């Protein structure tokens, strides 16, 4: 599936992320999921949730494919990578990688708008459950886009309560008030 993928952008628990040029010249990001022996729940969650969205602060899914246990998601390319590299730098004294406070504030506001859209603006509300700097991608103008929907839960708008059993998310970023089992109401 990735025989000609040479430019690896990163690796996560889900698999690898590659930069790819399409025949029409567009750059895209391909997220290759690790081979799955089960039903590929993370893949299905991500496709179901992200394909229902259309917001300037949510990354756009351009396509997906699966071949047996191999699965890939194709997203718009974000040339500035994740917010993580601007917050947790390997070279903290490198002034070229610093973002001014005004830009960080603008990023925070736009992430909040994206979350509000997911919680209130979609026909089917989406709870992300893994908001962290690694899952905030930045386009060429540093406009943030929420990504990483593998742990997301879809909530039909008619339902006012969602019951969760088991923790969801990355340790250190899980909302501490939501311990297992948890009830999520319309207030989220």
Give the DSSP H/E element, type plus range, for residue 60: none
Q: Which position among 24, 42, 90, 130 bears the catalytic label?
A: 130
Which residues, in sequence order, are CB contacts of 5 under 8 Å at separation 6+?
18, 20, 30, 32
Distance CA 188, CA 174 (A): 14
H helices of 9-88, in order, are 41-50, 84-87
| Beta bridge partners of residue 162, listed in sequence order | 184
Which residues, in sequence order, are CB contacts of 137 under 8 Å at separation 6+?
59, 78, 80, 81, 82, 83, 144, 145, 147
Q: Does residue 130 have an active-site annotation?
A: yes
Residues labelled catalytic: 130
């Amino acid at each position: 599936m990735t025989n000609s993928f040479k430019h690896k952008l990163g690796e996560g628990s889900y698999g690898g992320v590659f930069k790819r040029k399409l025949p029409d010249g567009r750059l895209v990001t391909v997220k290759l999921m690790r081979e799955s022996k089960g039903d590929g729940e993370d893949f299905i969650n991500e496709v179901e949730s992200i394909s229902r969205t259309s917001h300037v602060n949510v990354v756009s899914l351009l396509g997906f494919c699966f071949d047996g246990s191999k699965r890939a998601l194709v997203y718009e390319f974000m040339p500035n990578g994740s917010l993580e590299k601007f917050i947790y730098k390997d070279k903290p004294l490198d002034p070229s990688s610093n973002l001014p406070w005004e830009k960080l504030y603008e990023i925070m506001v736009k992430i909040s708008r994206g979350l509000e859209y997911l919680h209130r603006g979609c026909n089917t509300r989406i709870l992300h459950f893994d908001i962290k700097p690694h899952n905030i991608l930045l386009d060429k103008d540093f406009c943030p886009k929420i990504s990483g929907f593998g742990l997301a839960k879809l909530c039909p708008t008619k339902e006012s309560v969602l019951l969760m059993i088991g923790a969801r998310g990355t340790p250190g970023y899980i909302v501490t008030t939501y311990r297992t089992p948890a009830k999520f109401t319309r207030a989220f």
